[in-house]
Amino acid sequence: MDTYRTGDEGRAAQETSFRAHIAIAKRYGKPLVIHDRDAHADVLRVLDDEGAPDTVVLHCFSGDADFAAECVRRGHLLSFAGTVTFANAVALRDAARVTPIKQMLVETDAPYLTPMPFRGRPNASYLIPLTVRHLAEATGADLDELCAAISATGDRVFGPW
């Protein structure tokens, strides 16, 4: 659900589609990957209404520490992109600090959200280490342990690569 660019006229269609995606994920036993932009309360409300599938991933997590804590409490996974490296992303780093490393993933969201110091250029998978290193620094996690946890979570959720 994305209320950043979608006006009131498009929100009902988004919610209907989101509910259908939840049903599909539950029917087929697949992880539900959620795009949530400025719709945190609505995402949780719809998940509560429909019942969340076993695995929920908040793609390109964009919430604050309170939203992260609620997602963690529910057992959801938070996937961080290069935005966590931006100087103005204090709320994202606070969210990462309340996220156990076993509930953390990383992503590029390529070609967007390139981590610093390459912000403004196209993003690609070779830049993921910058995001992971920044997460380790911001959260105080051991880099090797964080890498192992992210890899294990990715294997568990999406299968071995």
Return the amino acid letter for 59.
H
Return the exposure string of 147-158: e unless at least 16 CB atoms fall within 10 Å of the residue's CB, then b.
Answer: bebbeebbeebe
Instruction: State the pLDDT at residue 41.
Output: 95
Q: What is the pLDDT of residue 58?
A: 98
pLDDT given for residue 2 in this prediction: 84
**Would strands 104-106 and 56-59 be described as parallel, antiparallel, or unpaired?**
unpaired
Report the C-alpha gap between 7 and 136 in whole angstroms. Answer: 37
The pLDDT of residue 136 is 98
Can you give the pTM of this predicted structure?
0.94
Q: Which domains does the chain have, with CATH numbers?
A: 8-158 (3.20.20.140)
Q: What distance in Å separates the CA atoms of residue 98 and residue 127, rounded to the nearest whole number?
A: 24
Amino acid at 156: R
What integer pLDDT is reported at residue 154 of this predicted model?
A: 97
The pLDDT value recorded for residue 5 is: 81
Q: What is the pLDDT along the chain (161 residues), one digit of tens a residue?
A: 888 888 778 889 999 999 999 999 999 999 999 999 989 999 999 999 999 999 999 999 999 999 999 999 999 999 999 999 999 999 999 999 999 999 999 999 899 999 999 999 999 999 999 999 999 999 999 999 999 999 999 999 999 87
Tokens of residue 124, six digits:
């690609």
